[in-house]
Each structure stands twice: as C-alpha cells, then as structure tokens.
Amino acid sequence: MSTVVHYLNQFFAGFGGEEAADHEPVRLDGPQGPGRGLAAAGLTVDVTLACGDDFFGEHEEDALSTLLGWIEEFEADVLVCGPSFGSGRYGYACGVLAREVGRRGIPVVAAMTPDSPGVLAAEGAAHIVPTGSNVAGMREALPVIASIASRLAAGEAVGGPDDEGYLPRGLRVNALVDRTGAERAIDLLLAKLAGDVATEVAPSGDRVPPPPPVDDLASARLALVTEAGCVPQGNPDRLPTRHANVWLRYDVADADGLAPGDYESVHAGFDTTAANADPNRLVPLDAVRELERAHIVGVVHDVFYTTSGVDTPVATAARHGQEIAAELREAQVGAVILTGT
C-alpha cells in the first residue's frame, strides 16, 4: 500500500486567502480541497500538508525543514504539489518543495502554468503537469496528476512528456529500443538525403551567457582557474590525468610566475610539451602580476585552482565549478581568468 502526500497552500487547504498567508505548516489527515478531486480521479491522498504562501516565502528554511520532516516520517511514496495554477508564491513553494523531495528520491508530481516560477525552482526534480492560470483548469489537470502519481507511487514506469502530458524536465533518460543505432542512423540519413531532416538529439539551450564586465577591475581580486592539469612538478597530490574527480588549489602568493621545472601539466588530452616549457601559458601568473603592478587589476588571489578537464563527466565538472565558485565568493574574488585546453 503506497502513501500519497499532498501539498497545498492556505487557500486550497481551507484556511483562508491573503489573511491566512502567514499560516505555519500544518499536517492534516486525508484529502483536502483538490485532494478530493484526486481521489475521484483514482488517487487516494493519505496526508495533506499545507503552508501559507507568505510563511513559506519568508521562512523558507524553517518551512522546508518541517515539511520534509513530515514527508520522511510518513515514508511518502509520492508527493503531489498543487495545482498552483498561475500563483507565483504558491508555485514557487511547490517548486522548491518538489525539488527537495525529488532530490531525496521520492517521486513528485506538481501542476502549474509553464511560466510559473515553480517550474524553474523544481529544477527538473518533478513531473509538472501544465495548467491554465486559474482554477478553471482543475478538472483537466487532476486526472493527469492522478494517473502519473499513481504509477510513480507504485514504482511503475512513466512515459515521456509528450505521451503523458507533463512538461519536459530537461532530463534525457535512457531507453532500450527495438532498432540498433546503425539501423536508425541509416534511416535518418536516407530520409535526410530525400529532404526530410530529423535528429534524435539537438544541442541543449544550456549556454552560459557571458557575464557583465567587471565594474572596477583596478580594485578587484583576480583569481586564476584552469582545467589544464597544471600541478607542481611530480604531481605530489596525484591529480588524475583524466576522469578527474577532484580539483586542487596551490599557493602562489609569493610567486611572480610559474617557473618551468616547478610546474607541469598532467592533462591527458593534449600534447603538453609546449605548455611544460612555460607553465605560465597554462596559468598566466606572470601576465597578471604585471597587470597587478600596473594597477590594472587590484590584487591577484593567493591561490590558483586546477583540475584535469578531460573525460570528466559533465555532472562532475559542474560540481567542481560550483565548489570552486563557492570558495571564490568566500574570498571575495571579483574576477576570474579561466584557462581551458
């Protein structure tokens, strides 16, 4: 028997409108409000959790802590959030809760408008059923939510966004198909040569926009970061030459540059001969010291950061970036030169 938990805001839980928006999180037995509609659509809600929209927005950490604690206590098999329709605050709360619950391995189904802030907040952790901007879309949304949530609660597979009627989560999951890649490739090519161009995968829109110019470079702390595998000679900390799952930092506070013989590249993805002849071409410490002396940059950060960017899974690389960025922020670094290979 699976456990279904439903999250609502103060209005849909029956506590009131704006006057109740600062309502603390509460737990209620059985379905409330739209939860009864879910039951009619075949999904029986065991527990309803509710929170005022303002309370969630103003006390997000506390609200999340309480709600997540209850969801774990109930050993939920699936969480349903909303529908929140076009409500910004409610949608945001649904999205954040969905993200955190989804990250804990519990399936989540939410419903909201495609432009709701909750869609972004969920970060792909939930199946989000698109709705209209107001409750007029309730009748249409509930059966879809119930259908998806029932199967997720039972551990059953759910089809793709087009088939099931949820918003693409930005994920690409593996599927075993009848035909080999070779068969598919030839079919696609022959169709293309006949004028019908199609593809199984296109580049994602995950492009990093260029950051705005540094406001005041002459007073900024400038850090050097590289994926060129630049390490002290002999690689004392054993930075992997490929598939790196770590990044390292090295102190250069007292150095004017990286001397040949003191540093080297252990990167396995390019011919390192020229780079090792002058490691400053991997980590341009000599150049930024000149800029520092000329007061073009404020100060060069005391350490440089390094890893080997070859064969590293994107998820690992993203984690490296986030961890290094966190340190840079902590050190109040205002500008970074990132050298790639």
Partner 1 sequence: MESTLADLEIATFAVDEVVEGTQTGWSDGRLTLALPQLAVGAGDPALAEATVEVVRPGDSVRISNVLDVALPSARIGEALPSARIGEALPSARAGEVRLHRLAGVAVLTLCDWAGAGYDGAEELPDSLVDMAGPGADRSPWGVTTNIVVRCVPSPGVEVAEADRAVRGAATSVATTIAEATAGATPDDVRSVGPLPPADASLPAVAVILQVASEGPLVDTFLDGEPLGEFAPRVLDERRLYEGRLTNGAYDWPGVRNVTAAYQDLSLLRELRAAHGERSRYAGLILAPGYLDGADQKRRAAEASAELAQSLVADGVVCTTFSSGNSHTDTMLTVQACERRGIGTVALVCETNGGLTDHVPEADCLVSTGNEDELVDAWIPERVVGGDDRARVGERVPAVHYLGGLAETGDARWTAVPA
**How far is it, in rounded angstroms, from Cα 243 to Cα 195?**
40
How many residues sit close enough to partner 1 to count as binding (CB under 8 A)?
Answer: 50
Query: Under the criterion CB under 8 A, does residue 1 sit at the interface with partner 1?
Result: no
The Cα 268–Cα 242 span in angstroms is 6
Task: Sheet containing 335-339: give its strands across.
Answer: 248-251, 299-306, 221-226, 335-339
Asked if 193 touches partner 1 (CB under 8 A), the answer is yes
**Which DSSP string corresponds to 90-152?**
HHHHHHHHHHHHHHTT--EEEEE-TTSHHHHHHTT-SEEEE--SSGGGHHHHHHHHHHHHHHH
Tokens of 175: 């599927």
Interface with partner 1 includes 277 (CB under 8 A)? Answer: no
**If binding is defined by CB under 8 A, does position 189 make contact with partner 1?**
yes
Q: Is 180 one of the binding residues for partner 1 (CB under 8 A)? A: yes
Contact indicator for 337, 225 with CB cutoff of 8 Å: yes
Q: Shortest approach of partner 1 to residue 5 CB, angstroms?
A: 22
Applying CB under 8 A, the span of 15-23, 69-77, 131-139, 239-247 interacting with partner 1 comes to 239-247
User: Which of these segments, 33-41, 128-136, 255-263, 308-316, binds partner 1 (CB under 8 A)?
Assistant: 308-316
Q: Contact with partner 1 (CB under 8 A): which of 28, 241, 321, 337?
A: 241
Q: Which of residues 150-179 bind partner 1 (CB under 8 A)?
A: 160-161, 168-169, 171-179
Candidates 2-10, 131-139, 236-244, 248-256 — which segment interacts with partner 1 by CB under 8 A?
236-244
What is the dihedral sign for C-alpha 289, 290, 293, 295?
negative
Torsion of CA 78, 82, 87, 89, to 10 degrees: -50
Segment contacting partner 1 by CB under 8 A, of 6-14, 95-103, 112-120, 240-248: 240-248
Task: Please calculate the CA angle 131-72-126 and round it to the nearest 5 degrees.
Answer: 25
Q: How far is the CB of 120 from partner 1 (least distance, A)?
A: 17
Residues within the interface to partner 1 (CB under 8 A): 160-161, 168-169, 171-186, 188-190, 192-193, 197-204, 206, 240-243, 268-271, 310-315, 317-318
